[in-house]
Chains A and B, each alone.
Chain A
Amino acid sequence: MPSGETEEQRQFREYFTARRDAVRRTAYLLCGDWHWADDLAQTAFMRLAVSWRKVRDREALDGYVRTCLVRAYLADVRRVWRRRERSVAEPPDVFGHPGASEGAPRRMAFAAALRRLPPRQRAALVCRYYQDLDVAATAAALGCSQGTVKSQTARGLAKLRELLEADGELTMMEGLR
């Protein structure tokens, strides 16, 4: 343990080191921009740091960070859109290089479709299908009712299908029928 470091700080570092990349990836799926994903991940970990003593159940750490992350994202989106509804161009630093692999075009099409979903629908899908959360846990993360999670998930899937159909990439969604 470095000199002057507290036990809490050491524990936080261990958790951060283990979970940073996973949290960043979730953040990226939510927002579609790696700079913003870093900001969101930082916000979530900062909240965890100041609340470390309160989160006594170490099994609950992931859920706490996830809740912070999702809510920070949804709130940030509201702030961004409030100032002016922006049409955001394709992020320049994402998804690797086109053609880097055989699956690249398909992956890009899926990523583009995901990015075009409304934020709450996207958050619901990421929680349900990337984080593997059930409806109740997703509701807790999003701060909404379970009914809202169900409706947002259903709308998100339908919209995703619609967008991919339009892009001729329907086959990748056949498993979602």
Chain B
Amino acid sequence: MNQMREQLDEIAAAAPPSRLSADAVYAAAFRRRHRRVAAWVGGGVVAGALAVSLAAGALGLPPATPMQAPRGDGRIFAVAAADAEHLYAEVGNCGGGCTLDLVGSDDGGRSWTVRTRNLTGDLSAPAPGSLLRMVETGTEGPLPLHVPWVSRDGGRSWAEVRAGGGAVAEVAAGGWLQCASPRGINDPCTLIAVDPVNARSAPLAGPPDLFLDEPVDVPVAGGFWVTGRDRGGQRPAVAVSRDRGRTWSTHVFTATETGDADLDMLRFMGAASTDGVNGYTIMTAADPKGAATAGVQALVFRTGDAGNTWQRVHPTQTLPRRYYIGGDSYVAADGSHVVLGTDDPPDRWYTSSDGGNSYHPASQPGLGAELLQQSNVRVVVAAAGAYLAFDAGALYRSADGLRWTRTVIRLD
């Protein structure tokens, strides 16, 4: 195996100068609190790897990013929906250089039309009537900068969201909260309120008093949920607003609640709720039992009052020991908590129908096995009664989050 070692040594030998210094890292460690990891990490990869053309197109659309082989023609790369009828997907188009097209359906997936060619940016449907694309516009140091673009006509036309003006007391009707593009590597999430009707964004005047991690994907009717940490230490927290961001109910998980779990290693937590009342949060913590338990444990908490109080559940430790993040779980229509997990790929589904006390491997009738083979598995909860998933070849819809219907996208 010496050859292997020699090869690895050679690869790592040509290191450029590092920006890291002992004092800066030490200082950052103690002022560190959470930031929106996904944003800069995702962008960090892209920042270092992709050269993105920044020239705006003649139609005012963000420029296209050339796709890399082996993205296939017709392959699905992302789906979005804010209700059960209006569905959207990014699909590969390889007719003369691969790009992404946005296709949409206004009848629950029965018919589809192309809405935007040469799509760029991560797609989502954060509120009914709106589509959002976060488009990378460049980098600042190691961090990517993103600009939101919104569509109010099902993805046929787009407007860049302009930041500006003073802070707003609440999120406008039809709007949502998201993190501002981080400027510093240790910046926590700064909540901005997006008004899609006017294509404007502004800081939220009264965010929860936390170092914020990220908003939780909860259907709009369930209020706004965010995860983070308290400002005094390392305690994880969840905050919920039921009045469009004017006031927040914040719960900081105390040492009594988390017990002997070592939260020093805690970096990831995920929360899930469909109705905004019943929800779960999963934290990954170091396990004091150490190597005998693969070093980590999953702490699960349940709320039945919109995040005001949380009860620790999962005494059985029947969930796989792994890192759980936002999007790893959702709440089915019957209240079951469905979690994606494994300790050896590929992933599989686990469900709890006893309020999070115990989890058991579960099949998801109608959900393709191929879905679990891909690396970006997640279920989008568009609204109560509207669950969505996808793999490379099809989109899957469900009214209860447990039984699924496969839909192949065929353009009209």
Q: How far, in Å, is B250 (CB) from chain A's closest CB?
A: 23
B316 within 8 Å of A (CB atoms): no
B256 within 8 Å of A (CB atoms): no
Report the Cα distance A47→B77, complex, angstroms. Answer: 35
Q: Which one of B19-27, B153-161, B224-232, B300-308 contacts A?
A: B19-27
Q: How far, in Å, is B372 (CB) from chain A's closest CB?
A: 13
List residues of A whose CB falls within 8 A of some B CB: 9, 12-13, 16-17, 20-21, 24-26, 28-29, 31, 33-36, 38-39, 41-43, 45-47, 49-51, 54, 67-68, 71-72, 74-76, 78-96, 103, 107, 110-111, 114, 118, 120, 125-126, 129-130, 132, 136, 139-140, 143-145, 147-148, 151, 172-176
Interface residue SS majority, chain A: helix
Q: What residues of chain B lie closer than 8 Å to A74, measured between beta carbons?
A: 323
Report the Cα distance A13→B45, complex, angstroms. Answer: 28
Q: Which of B41, B50, B78, B90 contacts A79 (CB 8 A)?
A: B41
Q: What residues of chain B lie closer than 8 Å to A140, measured between beta carbons?
A: 291, 295
Report the Cα distance A130→B9, complex, angstroms. Answer: 8
Report the Cα distance A26→B13, complex, angstroms. Answer: 10
- Beyond A42-B20, A45-B20, A87-B71, 6 extra complex contacts between A and B, CB < 8 Å: A38-B20, A39-B185, A45-B25, A72-B267, A87-B70, A89-B68
The answer to whether A13 and B376 have CB atoms under 8 Å apart is: no
Q: How far, in Å, is A50 (CB) from chain B's closest CB?
A: 5
The answer to whether A47 and B265 have CB atoms under 8 Å apart is: yes
The answer to whether B3 and A175 have CB atoms under 8 Å apart is: yes
The answer to whether A50 and B29 have CB atoms under 8 Å apart is: yes
User: Given A38-B20, A75-B267, A129 and B343 touching (CB < 8 A)?
Assistant: no
B378 within 8 Å of A (CB atoms): yes
The answer to whether B32 and A46 have CB atoms under 8 Å apart is: yes
B254 within 8 Å of A (CB atoms): no
The answer to whether B295 and A67 have CB atoms under 8 Å apart is: yes
Report the Cα distance A108→B291, complex, angstroms. Answer: 36
Q: Which of B10, B20, B46, B294 contacts A139 (CB 8 A)?
A: B294
Q: Which of A13, A86, A88, A173 contacts B23 (CB 8 A)?
A: A13
Q: List 9 A-B contacts (CB under 8 A).
A: A36-B48, A36-B142, A49-B30, A79-B325, A82-B327, A83-B42, A91-B49, A129-B5, A174-B3
Q: What residues of chain B lie closer than 8 Å to A139, measured between beta carbons?
A: 291, 294
Q: How far, in Å, is B29 (CB) from chain A's closest CB?
A: 4
Residue picked from B7, B16, B38, most chain A C-beta under 10 Å: B7
Report the Cα distance A145→B320, complex, angstroms. Answer: 11
Report the Cα distance A89→B51, complex, angstroms. Answer: 9
Q: Which of A68, A82, A95 contacts B14 (CB 8 A)?
A: A95
The answer to whether A49 and B41 have CB atoms under 8 Å apart is: no
Report the Cα distance A118→B344, complex, angstroms. Answer: 13
The answer to whether A25 and B49 have CB atoms under 8 Å apart is: no
Report the Cα distance A76→B46, complex, angstroms. Answer: 13
Q: What residues of chain B lie closer than 8 Å to A54, measured between beta carbons?
A: 264
Q: What residues of chain A lie closer than 8 Å to B67, measured between beta carbons?
A: 87
The answer to whether B344 and A35 have CB atoms under 8 Å apart is: no
Interface residues of B in 194-229 (CB under 8 A from A): none
Report the Cα distance A107→B11, complex, angstroms. Answer: 6
B322 within 8 Å of A (CB atoms): yes
B389 within 8 Å of A (CB atoms): no
Q: Which of A31, A51, A88, A130 contacts B8 (CB 8 A)?
A: A130
Report the Cα distance A151→B344, complex, angstroms. Answer: 10
Report the Cα distance A43→B122, complex, angstroms. Answer: 25
Report the Cα distance A71→B13, complex, angstroms. Answer: 23
Report the Cα distance A68→B268, complex, angstroms. Answer: 13
The answer to whether B15 and A25 have CB atoms under 8 Å apart is: yes
Q: Which of A25, A50, A85, A126 contacts B264 (CB 8 A)?
A: A50
